[in-house]
Structure formats: C-alpha cells, structure tokens
Amino acid sequence: MKRVPLPIAPDPSGKRWWRSLGEQAGSPEFEHSLPAEFPPGAALPPEGEGRRQFLTIMGASVALATLAGCRRPEEKILPYTRRPEEVVEGNPLFFATTMPFRDNAYGLIVESHEGRPTKIEGNPKHAESAGGTNVWAQASILDLYDPDRTNAPRQKGQTKNWGDASDFLRAEGDRYKAKKGKGLVVLTESHRSPSVAAQLKALLEALPEARVLRYDPFSSDNVREGERLAFGKSLALSLDLAKAKTIVALDADLLSSDGGSPIRQARGFVAGRDVDKNVEPNRLYAIESRLSTTGGSADHRLRLQSRQIPAFTFALAAELSKNGVDTGVAAAAEPKAQGLSEKAKRYVTAIAKELVANRGKVAVVAGRGQPPVVHAVAHLINNALESVGEGKPVRFYAAFDDGREGPSVLTELAQSIAKKEVETLIILGGNPAFDAPSDAKFADAIASVPTSVHLSPVFDETSEKTTWHLNRAHYLEAWGDARTLDGITSVVQPLIAPLFDGKSEIEVLEILLGGNRSGYDIVRANARGTASEAEFEKSWRRALHDGLWAESSAALENVIASTEGVLAALNGFTPPAAEGLEITFRHDDHAYDGRFANNAWLQELPDPMLKQTWGNAAVLSIATANKLGVKDGDVVSLNGAGGSITIPVAIGPGHADDSISLTFGQGRRAALRVARGTGVDTAPLRQSAAFDIAGGISAQRTGNFVQLARTQEHFAMEGRPVAREGNYDEYKKDPQFARKQSIQPPLFNLWTTPTEDQGHAWGMAIDLNACLGCSACVTACQSENNIPVVGADGVTRSREMHWLRIDRYYDGSPEEPNTITQPMLCQHCENAPCEQVCPVAATTHSPEGLNDMAYNRCIGTRYCANNCPFKVRRFNYFHYNKHHDEHRQLQFNPEVTVRSRGVMEKCTFCVQRINRAKIEAKRDGKTRVEDGKIKTACEAACPTQAITFGDLNNASSAVSEKAASPRGYRMLEDINVKPRITYLARIRNKNPELEGA
C-alpha cells in the first residue's frame, strides 16, 4: 500500500511547526524516511574503514583507561585493612570542587565511588553555577579517563620521567637567574587562578627580564578595550538578567557560552519570565547572523550580518538621543549607522522606545567578536539609561588581569622568535600551534626556538613542535583555585590521584622556581596569606567543604563613563565593506576551541540548532545556498586572504544572507583516536586582523558531497502538535490556553483502571518557558546511565542511543522562523502502549508509576518502539562494551546496568537515585521520601531549572505545583496514554510595535 504523506498539521493555535527544511518543504527524501521506524541499514554494522573507526571510538569512549585499581588522593589514602571511616562500599561520596573554564570558574559537586569520580553536578552554594551545569562541565569527566592522555614526559619524542623533566626545569631556572630571565618566555592560556598569578609574579620577581604572555583563541580583548574606551580601565562585566526588563543581545550568545557567566545569565533570564509567580516577563531582542541559543530563546530576533552590528548599535545610540537619552556620542554615531534595511531601522525605533520606557532595567550587550567601539557604545547606552551599578542589571568588578590575550600576542611573539630574542619558550596549557592565526605561522615559529616546553594532557599539535612535552593533570586530579568574575574565590580540589602521573601549571612553575612545594601546599599558602595557622585552619576546612570561600566576592567598581575615547574611536571607525560574503568564526558546539575534540560524548551531542553531530559545516542561508547552487552536504571551497578550506554546507533556518558561519575547534591533526579526521580545521581562514569576522571571501561549489550526521529529522512526530507556546497577552486573557489546545473528545477505558498506589507516584514537569535547548541534560543522562556513543555512521543510520533528546521546532518561514525547544524522554505513561505489545513482559509498570525495563528479559522484538508514539526507545544494536569487559571502566556508574546488545533502552527516571533516596528515608525512620531529596540527572544538570521531578501523590511537592500550572498540558492526551510528564507551554513577550516585522 502506498503511504499517503502527512502534511504539517497546524496545532489548534494555528502554528505550523516543522523541524527541518525537508519537512517544511515536504521533500521526497523526508517523506521516504517516515514509514519505517527503523530505516534501511539501521541494523547493519559498519564496514571497512568505517568499522575500524567505529571500534576505535568505542574504545575511546567506553573503556577509557586500563588501570589496575582505584586510587585515592594522596592526602587521604589508607590501606583497606583499615577502611577509611567515610567509605562504605556501594555508597557514593560527594566532594566540592571547581572547574576553571576560560574567564570564569564553575562550582561543582562530584560524585565518587570508592575513589573514582563518576558524575558531575553543580554546586548549589556557588553563585556561578547555583546547582546547574553546562555541557562542558558534564562532559569534562570523560576527559579524565581519556586513553589518549600521555602518562609521562617526552623529550624530542623519547619517553622520560618526571625526575628527568624536573632536573631540566630546575636547570633552566638556575640558568636564567644569571641572565635575569632574558630570553625566557612563559605563555599561558586564559585563566583566573590566584595561585597561578602568584607563581607568575614570583617568576617575574626572580627573573625580571623574562616575559609572561597569555593567549586565548576566543579572547576578550575587544571586550576589555571597549571598557577602557568607555570607563578608562579594564573591568569584569557581570550581568544580573533577573533585574532586566529589556535585554538586547548584539551578536552575543548570552545564554550559551559566549564568555561571561552563561549559567548565571541563563538562570537570571528565566527567573525574569516566571509568569507562574506573577512576574511580568522580560523581553529579549537578539540581533545576530547565525541562529544561536539566545536567538532561539528571544522574543524578537533580527537576522543581520555580523558586519552590520556596528551600524545597528550606532543607530540605536542615535535613536535614543531622539528619545531624550543622551549617550554623549549620538552625533558621531549617526553618520556611521548607514546601510541598514528598513526592517532593521524599524527594530531600532521599537527597541529604543522600549529601552527608554524601562530606564534602569535594561541590558544592552555586545558579542565578544564585535569591535571595541561597539562594546563601548553599548556601555554608554546602559550607563545613560541608569542600568549600571548596585541592584542594576549591569555591574562591573575589578579586572583579574588586564593583559592582552588575543591574536596579536602570538603574532608579536612569532616576530620576536624570528629575531632570535627567545631562547626558551614554556607553554602552560592551550594548543597555539593549532589555534593561532594563520598569518602568525606560529607552529613553524615554535619549532625554531632552541628550547621549548609544552604542558598538555595529550600529545597534540603543539607538543609535536616542542622540545619537551609534559603531561598535564586534569582539574579533578590537581589542587588549584579560581576566581569568578565577581571575585568569589573557589577551590579546585582533586578527587583522585593523577591517573597518568601528570602535574598542574602551579607545580611546573614551582619546579622552575626551584621549589619543592606540592600543589596542595601552594594553594593553601596562597589562600592563607598572612593569617595565622590556627585561625586559617577553620576557614580552610570550610572552603574545602563548600568549594569556595564564603563572602569572598569583590566590591562593585564605581565606574564613571567618559565619551572622549569613544568619540575618537567612532571618528576613526571605518565600516566594513557591505559587498561580498562575510565569514564569522565561533567556538564549536562539540569541541569548543579544540580542547574537547577528543570527547566522544560531545562529538555525538547534536548542536542546539542544526542538530549536527561529529563534525562541523559552513552554515548559510537558503538565499545564499541558492546563489551558490548548493544544498545540505555539498562541499564548497572557501578562499580568503589567509588561505582556503573545503567544507560541507549546512543550510540554517534564520541565517543572515551573504554570511557564512564557521566554527573553530574541529579538524584536529594530532594522533587522537576520536578527534583525528573529525570535522574541518577552519584556521587557515583566520587572520590576526580578522580573527572573528572576515570579509573578502569567495565560495565555489566543488561538486563533492558529504553525508552530514544530523538528527533533525530523526524520530519525527509527523506533524502532531507537541510543543506549545503563546504570547503573553494571550496568556493573560486565558492562562489555560495550552491545555485547551489539546483535542479532548470523551475518553473511555475498556477496562477498570487499578486504584493508584497510595505510596509514591513519580512524575516530572518540564517548563518550555525555561528550556533553552542547551543539552546539558542530555550529557548528564549519558554520564549517569552509562549510555554509549555510536559514531557518525551510527547517527546517520538513526541509531543514536541518547535516552533524552532535545527536539527543536520552527514556526514561520525558513528565513524568519520562531524557535522552540522541547526535551523528549520516556513519558512513563499510565496506559503505556509499549507494555501492551511486549511478548515477554520485559516492559512493565511499577506500583509507583515507572515504566520499567527488565533487560535480561528483553529479546529485542522492538515492538515496544514501534508502538511508542513519542519515539523515545533506543535499540542497542551492538555490544558496545564487548572489547573492554576485561578492563575496569572507571567512569561507569556502578548503580546502573551496563547493557549488552539486543535490548531496548530508555529513560528510567534515574530509578537508581529513587531507590537510594528510599533506602536513606527508611534508614532515617521516615515513611516517605522528602520532596527535593531526589533529583534526576537531567533535572540536576539543567542550568535554568526547567525540569522538576518528584512525587505527584504529595500535593505540596514542587512537581505537583508545576503540574497544576495553568500552562500545563500532557503530550498527545487525545490517545489516552496518560503520560506522567507535564509540559508547561512557552510564553513569548512580543512587542506590538514589531507585529509583522
């Protein structure tokens, strides 16, 4: 029988949601993919080279490391004939620590089983994480067990030991003392560590002619220079978006990871939209070239080339002047605000009017890649609107370090090396041979230095060029510290002794300085300062317990705006050419700047908007694709001043025309089993003078094609309205609009429903108003539940194993879509369709409402998956762990079964956590588990608290209150499966003046 294609059905609100351009256009390829639950070839194993790569990936992501046994931190180790008092086999321990990441620090709680870290959560006492995390923190634990980490130093490729390396470093330190450090250069990556700063200061005091430099491939130089122009000094910007009523993101991905405090900013943004608490929602405007997490969450989004953002910003300053707000630079800004479309001008007018109406409650923020003058004008706008200072959305603190860290650092260093001014180069972290601007030719420069040292966890592109490679300790193995933007000092506390005998930056610097202190002693001494041992000990123990020093936040800076520097910068600003193509560079959603490229969890995690896995692509608009004559997967050649690359194309809804978005961090050349051969290195196109936005680019179709591993059309809901949203005005008129959109004919049961158990009734609520689609929950679930990866070939066959997926829907035209994200997991239906068709009762219903899976009973018929209307079951085609059963898989959670092939897997509501809490309640003499004692992995990871889990039989529980929200609705209620998950509809706060824009 020929299948009749299903159209995109509008939901009762009239919206026509679609997930991909193929679905929106009703392409034959999309229609062909719908009939089969399991597409052709899904059950076939990879062949040839693909099979070898598949096995390699499995080895890197599952076995991880072969070690003889568990190792505990040296400060705590005891023989098990005298078991440590706190250790009870089978009961995990939890320790507070900190993850230093770029220019911030995130407080974490790490779960440890018999001395091995297995899972990461956010530290609720730490303001920067507030109990939440992001994908980088969740996946960082996999890097701890990366088998590609080196286990010893190397000199010119020959394996050495740390005794040899220490002798060399001490000799170098002694040699340079006689020369006062002349010829010695220490290059660090971006950091906010007081101990590293103290060690570097001591180095410069001992060797005053040495140089200490810092480099970051996604530097904050533009941000800092903008602060200098506006306020006369470099500062640390901190946003409290909970206090903002109008937020304007100028090419700034505020809610993801574009620097700053994305977790805190996302939490504040969502707090300002909590309509269930009678909060009048804020309004977010996103002006950007590529659809980002922030753009997808915006109430209004304007697609605009990144090179036009300066003109938009200047036009906004000029328009504010017409509305009575004097920024002091309007007259100079207006002539530079040329070339905007009528639509963009309409946005300028509407935003300016609203900013004036919300004086004191606004935040205008420019993206890291925008020129300094754009940042400066944004600061002047915030200052003129009285939104800077105590209790305001925009706050400034003293800068941790105002040194440069951008591409010019490496360009100048390469020139210095060419002049024979550098005898010894010590690189502490980072990978500048890979991520330097192409015109610096830094990899060649490193090779010409007489003596060079690189501290890194793997033997990477930079290590290949240096004389010495020193193996670096993971942050979960080493003592350290870090300071947040607002000055909170946090402790980096190891949970395990170095698995590969690595050392940290402070330990390497200590050896270079001729000292013998351990990392613990260095951090403790730096924290102690001049306090006595007795008075310091108590605060030290409290800091180790809490993960931070209480009340260590810095005082706010009292900034005074000045227009002199900004006017000079405006007068000297030359708008970029409007003709031709532009290219923008941003961090990669899988690899960041390359540091996570060998992390299989992140490589297989679909990016928030394109849903691409295992690699990167050149993202462009439909109009630009048509102009070039390309479609998804076609390979193009991009040519610029720096060089050329060939890369596949991905057409992105909502992308600006004549703009191509590239990510940086993929295409690694080092011998790394996951990263090598994955994605395309875009570094040849990055020049020092155009490191973030480049013009003068040409693009040609090559005629080649690459099958992109994208999941956007997998597990399609065939047009059924499952994600719901409404405007704030609609919500005020009828708070139950989402529930009324459900098709509700009279529903009758053919049999009597058993009386609900009077014990616990586990359920979940997911607030679509708070979900940003960041996917931290997906990685958290993978870490908690021992979920394997399947590789790029497996993803293209629709075999991805994630128990939780983030569906992304579009509404409107492909050029100007609205976006909504929806977490989709097992709904734990009370009338579960999967249970009715299983021939061996492998899937059953528990008395507490869980849809259980008996893995050893499942025979793999896959009937349950066919009968699931939500497409949330995953069939384990292969025994992903077969080749590593003899090894100790340290990262695995021992409370969760490691599944063999041929069984169905799905969300269990983290039943292991439920049972642990029930046991603890029984031990404490309680008849019920207290509300909040159980947090599923996805709930705990969510930075915006979009997910709430608990007991629906407890009327006062948080999940019961959420489920009773007037915005609440159940999925596909018309088929009477009675899901245990309640979704809360998203609310947009539209500006009436932009109706139809």
100, pLDDT greater than 90: yes
**Crossing angle for the helix pair 505-512 and 162-178, nearest 10 degrees?**
50
Third-level CATH fold of 579-710: Barwin-like endoglucanases (2.40.40)
961, pLDDT greater than 80: yes
pLDDT of residue 887: 39
pLDDT of residue 411: 95
pLDDT of residue 78: 44
DSSP string, 323-356: TT---S-HHHHGGG--S--HHHHHHHHHHHHHHH
Q: Are strands 283-288 and 246-250 parallel, antiparallel or unpaired?
A: parallel
Check if the beta carbon of residue 452 is closer than 8 Å to that of residue 481. Answer: no
pTM: 0.91
70, pLDDT greater than 50: no
pLDDT tens by residue, 227-254 = 999 999 999 999 999 999 999 999 999 9
pLDDT tens by residue, 528-580 = 887 888 888 989 999 999 999 887 888 899 999 999 999 999 999 998 888 88
Among the listed residues 18, 333, 266, the one whose alpha carbon sits nearest the alpha carbon of residue 128:
266
Distances (CA, A) of 913 to 155, 470, 514: 47, 40, 48
Percent of the chain past pLDDT 70, that is, above it, reads: 88
Residue 66 pLDDT grade (very low, low, confident, very high; cuts 50, 70, 90) = very low
pLDDT of residue 346: 96
CATH class of the domain defined by 154-216+417-546: alpha beta
Size of the chain, expressed as the number of residues it contains:
997
Q: Give 946-974 as a 3 state SS string.
A: CEEEEECCCCCCHHHHHHCCCCEEECCHH
CATH number of 21-44+713-745+760-885+894-988: 3.30.70.20
905, pLDDT greater than 80: yes
CA 795 to chain centre: 21
Within the chain, which residue ranges are assigned CATH 3.40.50.740?
154-216+417-546
| Cα 697 from Cα 620, distance rounded (Å) | 13
SS3 905: strand
Residue 881 pLDDT grade (very low, low, confident, very high; cuts 50, 70, 90) = low
pLDDT tens by residue, 381-398 = 999 999 999 999 999 999
The Cβ of residue 972 has, within 10 Å, a number of other Cβ atoms equal to 19
pLDDT of residue 17: 66
pLDDT tens by residue, 597-631 = 999 999 999 999 999 999 999 999 999 999 999 99
| Cα 346 from Cα 991, distance rounded (Å) | 12
Third-level CATH fold of 221-398: Dimethylsulfoxide Reductase; domain 2 (3.40.228)
Tokens of 355: 């900013």
Q: By mean pLDDT, which of 179-188, 397-406, 893-902 is the weakest?
A: 893-902
pLDDT tens by residue, 271-293 = 999 999 999 999 999 999 999 99
Percent of the chain past pLDDT 90, that is, above it, reads: 70
Residue 431 pLDDT grade (very low, low, confident, very high; cuts 50, 70, 90) = very high
Residues 764-792, mean pLDDT to the nearest whole number: 94
pLDDT of residue 970: 92
Residues 582-611, mean pLDDT to the nearest whole number: 94
Better-scored residue on pLDDT, 55 or 375: 375
| CA angle (868, 871, 877) in 5-degree steps | 100
| Cα 428 from Cα 188, distance rounded (Å) | 5
DSSP string, 28-66: HHHHHHSS-SS-TTTTSPP-HHHHHHHHHHHIIIII---
119, pLDDT greater than 90: yes
880, pLDDT greater than 90: no
pLDDT of residue 973: 84
Check if the beta carbon of residue 143 is closer than 8 Å to that of residue 599. Answer: yes
Tokens of 834: 């999967």
Handedness of CA 921, 924, 926, 932 (dihedral sign): negative
pLDDT of residue 597: 95
pLDDT tens by residue, 723-745 = 888 999 999 999 988 887 765 66
| Cα 185 from Cα 198, distance rounded (Å) | 17
Instruction: Report the run of H or E that residue 206 belongs to, with start and end.
Output: helix 194-206
Within the chain, which residue ranges are assigned CATH 3.40.228.10?
221-398
| Cα 177 from Cα 311, distance rounded (Å) | 52
Most confident of 447-456, 872-881, 917-926: 447-456
334, pLDDT greater than 50: yes
Q: By mean pLDDT, which of 19-33, 273-287, 350-364, 443-457 is the weakest?
A: 19-33
Supply the Cα-derived Rg of the chain in whole angstroms: 28
Within the chain, which residue ranges are assigned CATH 3.30.70.20?
21-44+713-745+760-885+894-988
Residue 56 pLDDT grade (very low, low, confident, very high; cuts 50, 70, 90) = low
Residue 39 pLDDT grade (very low, low, confident, very high; cuts 50, 70, 90) = low
59, pLDDT greater than 60: no
pLDDT of residue 4: 43
Residues 573-591, mean pLDDT to the nearest whole number: 91
72, pLDDT greater than 60: no
pLDDT of residue 1: 38
717, pLDDT greater than 70: no
pLDDT of residue 981: 96
Q: Give 829-862 as a 3 state SS string.
A: CCCCHHHHHCCCCCEEECCCCCEEECCCCCCCCC
